[in-house]
């Protein structure tokens, strides 16, 4: 069905009043409010967001590619493929290029169309941050089928230690980022984790494969 509200006024201004400028935080807020509604309503709302004049609403809509429901994820990919190229922001174009390999072929095909449309519309891809990969580690898969990744990137006095937790049969459960002042800080943090958390360095390609699998199941 149609969304019975003005999405720019209701959602765009609402997020602005809350001071929510980070699209990932906004995604969490929107999913908290709408994630249990009928899929058709959610898809219609995402379509309205993609048609918004507000860049940040269109960026949030594109991040719905990570929606917990597979049918919504598939619909978002189709909406992106059919959107005018110029509606895809430079940041969204960058994100689509980064994540395309994580998705199954049917979604990847739609994302490739969206990327091509944006390039034809001469959308400039936002630059990647020049972060140096410091370390990539993975815990052993525990008895419940869960596994954590610890990925650190950065240089000099700014390091981000990123954690991704996924579980077999469920998919990605949680993610968070710790900001640390140095490579020594990263090593000290990891050394301070409980001894029961056994982990080892892994190849970055392993992370790509597992994230792809985790997104496919949820």
- Quick: pLDDT tens for 65-79: 999 888 999 999 999
Residue-level pLDDT at 5: 59
Mean pLDDT within 15-25: 83
> Tell me, what's the pLDDT at 82?
96
pLDDT in tens, 190-215: 888 877 788 889 999 999 899 999 98
26 contacts 7 by C-beta, under 8 angstroms: no
- pLDDT, tens digit (0-9, with 9 covering 90-100), for 141-196: 999 999 999 999 988 888 999 999 999 999 999 989 989 988 899 888 888 887 77
pLDDT confidence bin for 4, thresholds 50/70/90 = low
CA-closest candidate to residue 159, choices 138, 136, 185: 185
Mean pLDDT of 84-111: 94
For residue 24, pLDDT over 80 is answered with yes
Say yes or no to pLDDT of 59 above 90: yes
Of the chain, the percentage scoring pLDDT greater than 70 comes to 97
Q: Tell me the average pLDDT across 53-73.
A: 91
In degrees, rounded to 5, the angle at the alpha carbon of residue 204 between the alpha carbons of residues 201 and 208 is 130
The tokens describing 96, both together, are 């689509």
pLDDT (average), residues 33-59: 90
Whether this prediction's pTM lies above 0.85 is answered by no
The average confidence (pLDDT) of the chain is 89
pLDDT band at 13 (very low <50, low <70, confident <90, very high): confident
Query: CA dihedral in degrees (15, 16, 22, 28; nearest 10)?
Result: -10
pLDDT of residue 17: 78
The tokens describing 145, both together, are: 């089928």
Phi and psi at residue 68, in whole multiples of 5°? -60, -25
Tell which wins on pLDDT, 149 or 4. 149
- Per-residue pLDDT for 42 more than 70? yes
């Amino acid at each position: 069905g149609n969304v019975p509200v003005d999405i720019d006024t209701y959602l765009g201004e609402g997020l602005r009043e809350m001071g929510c400028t980070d699209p990932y935080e906004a995604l969490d807020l929107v999913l908290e409010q709408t994630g249990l509604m009928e899929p058709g309503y959610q898809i219609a709302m995402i379509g309205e967001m993609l048609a918004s004049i507000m860049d940040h609403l269109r960026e949030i809509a594109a991040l719905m590619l990570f929606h917990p429901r597979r049918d919504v994820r598939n619909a978002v990919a189709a909406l992106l493929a059919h959107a005018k190229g110029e509606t895809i922001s430079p940041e969204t174009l960058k994100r689509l290029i980064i994540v395309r390999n994580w998705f199954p072929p049917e979604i990847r095909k739609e994302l490739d169309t969206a990327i091509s449309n944006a390039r034809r519309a001469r959308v400039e891809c936002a630059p990647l941050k020049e972060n140096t990969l410091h370390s990539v580690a993975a815990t052993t898969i525990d008895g419940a089928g869960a596994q954590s990744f610890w990925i650190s990137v950065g240089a000099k006095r700014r390091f981000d230690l990123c954690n991704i937790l996924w579980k077999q049969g469920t998919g990605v459960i949680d993610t968070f980022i710790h900001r640390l002042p140095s490579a020594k800080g990263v090593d000290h943090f990891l050394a301070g984790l409980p001894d029961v958390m056994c982990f080892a360095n892994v190849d970055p390609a392993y992370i790509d494969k597992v994230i792809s699998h985790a997104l496919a199941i949820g």
